[in-house]
Structure 1
Amino acid sequence: MSFLKEVLRGIAIGVANIIPGVSGGTMMVSMGIYGDVIGAVTGMPKHFWKSVKFLLPYAIGMLIGIGGLSFAIGYFFLEFPFETAMLFIGLIFGGVPLLLPKIMGKRITFSETLLFVLFFGLVVWMQFWKQGTDVALNPGIKNSISLFVVGTVAAATMVIPGVSGSMLLMSLGYYTPIINRISGFLAALPALKWEELFACAAVLIPFGIGVVLGIFLVSKLVEYLLEKQERKTYFAIMGLVTSSPIAVLSGMNIVSIGFGQLLLGILLFIGGFFIANILGK
Structure 2
Amino acid sequence: MGAADIVPGVSGGTIAFITGIYEELINSIKSVSWKTVVILKQQGIAAAWSSINGWFLLTLFSGILFSVFTLAKLISFLLVAYPEMLWSFFFGLVLASVWHISQQIKVWRWINIVPVLLGVLVAWGAGSATPAEVEATTLNLFLSGCLAICAMILPGVSGSFILLLLGMYSVILDAVKSLDIAVLAVFAGGCIVGLLTIANLLAWTFKRFHDYTLLVLTGFMIGALDKVWPWKETISFRTNSHGEQVPLLQSNVLPGTFETITGQPSQLGLALVSAASGIVIVLLLEKMGRSRH
TM-score per shorter chain, which class? 0.7 to 0.9
Q: Does the aligned pair in 2 maintain the 1:156–1:215 contact within 8 Å?
A: yes
Ranked by relative contact order (alpha carbons within 8 Å, sequence separation 6 or more), the top structure is 1
Identity of aligned residues (%): 25
Equivalence for 1:108: 109
Q: 2:199, 2:153 → 1: CA distance?
A: 7
Unmatched tracts of structure 1, length 5 or more: 1-12, 138-142, 186-199
Structure 1 residues 151 and 90: alpha-carbon distance in aligned structure 2, compared to 1, 3 A threshold: same
Structure 1 residues 24 and 107: alpha-carbon distance in aligned structure 2, compared to 1, 3 A threshold: closer
Equivalence for 2:20: 32
Does residue 1:174 correspond to 2:168, yes or no? Answer: yes
Q: 1:261, 1:250 → 2: CA distance?
A: 10
Structure 1 residues 252 and 161: alpha-carbon distance in aligned structure 2, compared to 1, 3 A threshold: same
Equivalence for 2:275: 269
Structure 1 residues 163 and 48: alpha-carbon distance in aligned structure 2, compared to 1, 3 A threshold: farther
Task: Give how far 1:48 is off.
Answer: 4.4
Does residue 1:131 correspond to 2:131, yes or no? Answer: yes
Counterpart residue identity of residue 82, structure 1? E
Aligned 1:251-266 pairs, distance under 5 A: 252-253=232-233, 254=253, 255-257=257-259, 261-266=267-272
SS in 2 for 1:148: helix
Q: Does the aligned pair in 1 maintain the 2:91–2:229 contact within 8 Å?
A: no
Equivalence for 1:191: none
Q: Does the aligned pair in 2 maintain the 1:116–1:239 contact within 8 Å?
A: yes
Unmatched tracts of structure 2, length 5 or more: 37-46, 234-252
Aligned 1:1-281 pairs, distance under 5 A: 13-45=1-33, 46=36, 48-50=48-50, 51-104=53-106, 106-110=107-111, 112-133=112-133, 135=135, 137=136, 143-185=137-179, 200-249=180-229, 252-253=232-233, 254=253, 255-257=257-259, 261-280=267-286, 281=289
TM-score scaled to structure 2, two decimals?
Answer: 0.77
Q: 2:139, 2:68 → 1: CA distance?
A: 23
Q: 1:173, 1:265 → 2: CA distance?
A: 29
Q: 1:79, 1:128 → 2: CA distance?
A: 24
Structure 1 residues 133 and 271: alpha-carbon distance in aligned structure 2, compared to 1, 3 A threshold: same
More strand by share: 2
Task: Give how far 1:127 is off.
Answer: 2.6
Task: Give how far 1:97 is off.
Answer: 4.2
SS in 1 for 2:225: helix
Structure 1 residues 273 and 250: alpha-carbon distance in aligned structure 2, compared to 1, 3 A threshold: closer
Counterpart residue identity of residue 43, structure 1? S
Q: Does the aligned pair in 2 maintain the 1:25–1:34 contact within 8 Å?
A: yes
Q: 1:265, 1:56 → 2: CA distance?
A: 35
Q: 2:226, 2:48 → 1: CA distance?
A: 38
Q: 1:175, 1:113 → 2: CA distance?
A: 33
* RMSD after superposition: 2.1
